[in-house]
């Protein structure tokens, strides 16, 4: 039994409800902060799309889902794996509710950082996403929800399937929009002109 699974086994329904409420409260808090930061609630275009397939236009990161949603699912895989490893390192069970809320706090914290002027400018200057203007609040909350989806999937699926799914999502995004989580991190931390030119060739 994994560290998280043993924690799940000891959680009572009341505890699960408490952690669920904490998760929803955290998401509501992030929404309020993003609105206070001046982020638009929905796309400035005035519409809400379930799926927006373009990689670099005014609707990117403004609707419920897009190609970058795959990256957030992978975040959930990674956060679940990290919680499992921490539990094994500490030789103690990690309650699933606590692990999930911490993952939401980390993901939400990144959404706040990602929508700061410094990071928005960084994206525009160092990546091919020169039209990026930050996320709508709707998109940020959806990104957190996709992370939760990945976290829950990692709870029930075998490790080999999660690894295969992450690789497949990275390859599909790379093929379709010439971008994925790996390149996103690379271009933010260590921009490479050749990669940016290659990405921009289809945008």
Q: What percent of the chain has pLDDT over 90?
A: 75
**pLDDT at 142 exceeding the cut of 80:** yes
pTM for this model (two decimals): 0.91
First to last CA, the chain: 47
pLDDT digits (tens, 9 = 90+) for 190-199: 999 999 999 8
Top-ranked range on mean pLDDT: pick from 46-55, 69-78, 92-101: 69-78
CA-closest candidate to residue 148, choices 183, 95, 96: 96
**pLDDT at 183 exceeding the cut of 70:** yes
pLDDT for 58 equals 85
Q: What is the SS3 assignment for 190?
A: coil
Q: Which long-range contacts (CB under 8 A, 24 or more apart) does 26-30 make?
A: 26/101, 26/104, 26/105, 26/108, 27/104, 27/108, 27/141, 27/144, 29/108, 30/108, 30/111, 30/112, 30/140, 30/141, 30/144
Q: Read off the pLDDT of each residue in 11-38 and give the average, rounded to a whole number.
A: 90
């Amino acid at each position: 039994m994994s560290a998280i699974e043993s924690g799940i086994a000891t959680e009572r329904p009341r505890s699960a409800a408490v952690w669920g409420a904490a998760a929803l409260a955290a998401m509501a808090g992030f929404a309020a902060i993003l609105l206070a930061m001046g982020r638009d609630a929905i796309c400035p275009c005035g519409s809400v799309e379930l799926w927006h397939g373009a990689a670099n236009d005014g609707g990117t990161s403004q609707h419920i889902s897009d190609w970058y949603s795959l990256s957030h699912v992978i975040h959930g895989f990674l956060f679940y794996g990290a919680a499992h490893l921490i539990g094994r390192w500490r030789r103690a069970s990690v309650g699933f509710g606590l692990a999930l809320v911490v993952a939401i706090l980390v993901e939400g914290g990144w959404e706040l950082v990602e929508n700061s002027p410094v990071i928005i400018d960084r994206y525009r200057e160092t990546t091919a996403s020169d039209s990026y203007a930050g996320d709508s609040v709707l998109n940020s909350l959806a990104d957190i929800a996709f992370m939760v989806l990945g976290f829950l999937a990692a709870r029930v699926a075998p490790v080999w399937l999660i690894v295969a799914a992450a690789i497949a999502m990275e390859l599909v995004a790379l093929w379709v929009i010439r971008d994925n989580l790996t390149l996103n991190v690379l271009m933010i931390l260590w921009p490479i002109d050749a990669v940016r030119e290659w990405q921009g060739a289809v945008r």
